[in-house]
Structure 1
């Protein structure tokens, strides 16, 4: 089993409910156990003119291969109405593999650690609820170092769900 962290986000069709449905689907993945889920956070979209996002991070222990897990996550997105019309457009659900154990993955369809996660408070702060501060990324940086360089700005931690 490897510990995998999944970033979750939605800004369409009742985003909090989209995340709750995704959590239920993650709990049903084969060869996997859902270990925990962070609080939900709201943040502005990275692009102007889009609705605010609701984000969270899930921790999963799994024996699934990275691309098999990616396919399963994309199936969950599709089941929840995800349309891939534009790369940075609004979405019902976005599920991203942030970290896959201590692996460094550079495949055409999958890059792990997830690109730009170190710059995104809406990823790092929910991740910090589940992962130890001394969690070390493949490049040697710790989660604590990333948090120190990424202020809690523009985030709103939502009340318990």
Structure 2
């Protein structure tokens, strides 16, 4: 660390791509013995990672026109409307706030698009998340079944 104004100016002089101050600091680090301490892993980090990699059981409730995943007392939902016997409007996707950002909506979207493809239906995308998902997935089978 610079201790005076002359040291501050000294830092800007470059020698071989490194400032003289940086070179001096690197030499002092090499000559100093460093003690390593074990680190503790934060449980919430690994829990979050496991949750995002977990596969979820997506269920389809045709009577209520929704795909859903049970998440304890909560549930994540992708709702749709039947426009005609061959066209669905994928209207809304919702995941409980505490579980957002963990890939749950992606599982719902995949199940809905797979359903549309397997039943040879058309899908209108009203939900902005599903528009984004379809664009990012770049699955030709999905985009082939999307209508305006």
Structure-2-length-normalised TM-score: 0.31
Richer in helix (by share): 2
> What is the TM-score of this pair, normalised by structure 1?
0.29
- Report the structure number with the largest CA radius of gyration: 2
